[in-house]
Amino acid sequence: MHSILRNRKVQIAGQAVVITALVGGAGSFVALNKSVNLTVDGQSEQVRTFGSTVGDVLAAQGLEVDERDAVQPGADTRIERDMNIVLNTAKDLDLTVDGIALDEWTTANTVGQALADLGVEAEGAEVSLPLDETLTEDGATVDVVTPKGVTVVADGEQKIVEATAATVSEVLSEAGIEVAGEDIVSAPLTAPVTDGQVLDVLRVKSETKSVEEKIEKKTTVKESASLDRGETKVEEKGKDGVREVVYDIRTVDGAEVKKEKVSEKVVAEPVDAVVVKGTRAPEPTPAPERDSSSDSKKDSQDSTGGSEKKKDSQDSTGGSEKKKDSSKKTDSDEGGNSGKKAPDVDDGSVWDRLAQCESGGNWSINTGNSYYGGLQFSSQTWKGFGGGKYAPNAHQATREQQIDIAKKVQKQQGWGAWPACTRKLGIR
């Protein structure tokens, strides 16, 4: 509270003025002595003065006016009877608004007036002192937290918080959002917040996780002369192994951002697969059947050739020998075509070209070299791929039946099943 009592020196000076006035006469005393209303920092008092200006009145009351003080009217204004003089002294203010510290001063007399003068909206705000609290020259410390709307995004949800919160931490508390040790907030917890600000809270999780992983089996290839070249056989299927791996995993809002292997151990060893690959070269391709014209010529020669005629004559008289020839049959000639229909094949197909190379295009050829038909099947191959449903041997089957079985062989063994002719024809 500012005192407006006169100090000792002022009282002495006033007495001197009074004595002078008395010496000068009563009329002069009355003319010089004026009554004024003096208000200092909101406290009013009526005083009498012999001074001629506002400054004289303030000086007579022992009031030293600082350059920051507000005086109404000005110090040089001449005194009039019953005039009002107002002095509002400057007061230092330690002001904090929403966590931001400010060094301010004011000539206001109350906290509310000071905030209004400084442009701080006090309505709806939290103020550390009552708005009608009187300010003194000693100053004051005032904390103000203004209301704000802050958007908080956390755990997949968005919340709008209307609160008189000064810091990020206070806003999150108002929103009911807890922040764990590793969680990340888009602003420091102690940072001040502003109206309309958006705060993101990212959930960080670190965990140790054990998983089983597959160990791929290896495949070993062995060569064998017991299989034709191009043929393969699985000797051992093999099996994948299993390893147990321990990872340190870090996630942010469920998304993995770091994965570090800690340890691993083999639970089940893999078993290698083994595949046997044939290296046996195919048997030579049989020579094409002789031209029918040369056979006719030979038959003609035989019909006139004495030795052959003699043989026929001998055969005609040698009953036992003739009987023996007529009863002789090969195993490959036993049985006949089953008559089962095979898929149709267009003329001029690749199989016709291949048969022309292999057997001169003779689909019923049997030269006695253990290879039969237009595509020269061995008995083992013919029966192994289901040819038996058509005929005991390939030369007894139709073109279409032979091609049907040949397609099965090609699908498994490739064109290498007919190595020389497919190379010659440019098929492979």
Report pLDDT digits (tens) over 174-216: 889 999 888 999 999 888 888 889 999 999 999 999 999 999 9
Angular region, 176: left φ>0, alpha ψ -120 to 50, beta rest:
left
Determine which of 281-285, 349-353, 405-409 has the lowest per-residue pLDDT on average.
281-285
What is the identity of the amino acid at 349?
Answer: S
Q: Tens of pLDDT along 266-322?
A: 999 999 999 998 888 765 555 454 444 444 444 433 433 333 333 333 333 333 333
**Percent above pLDDT 70 for the chain:** 80
Res 325 pLDDT > 60: no
Give dist(CA 235, CA 389) in Å, integer. Answer: 29
Residue 146 pLDDT > 80, yes or no? yes
pLDDT at position 159, please?
87
Q: Residues in the chain, how many?
A: 428
Q: Is-contact 49 57, C-beta < 8 A?
A: yes
pLDDT of res. 265: 93
Which pLDDT does position 222 carry in this prediction? 86
Mean pLDDT of the 152-161 span:
90
Tokens of 309: 């005629």
Q: What is the pLDDT of residues 372-400, one digit of tens each?
A: 999 999 999 999 999 999 999 999 999 99
For residue 341, the model assigns a pLDDT of: 92
CB 283 within 8 A of CB 356: no
Q: Is the pLDDT reported for residue 1 higher than 50?
A: no
pLDDT tens for residues 105-136?
898 889 888 889 888 887 778 898 898 888 88
The whole model's pTM is what? 0.41
Q: What is the mean pLDDT of the chain?
A: 80
Q: What is the enclosing helix (H) or strand (E) of 399?
A: helix 399-413
Phi, psi of 234 (to 5 degrees): -85, 115
CA-CA distance, 274 to 27, in Å (whole number)?
Answer: 139
Helices within 79-238 (DSSP H only): 111-117, 168-175
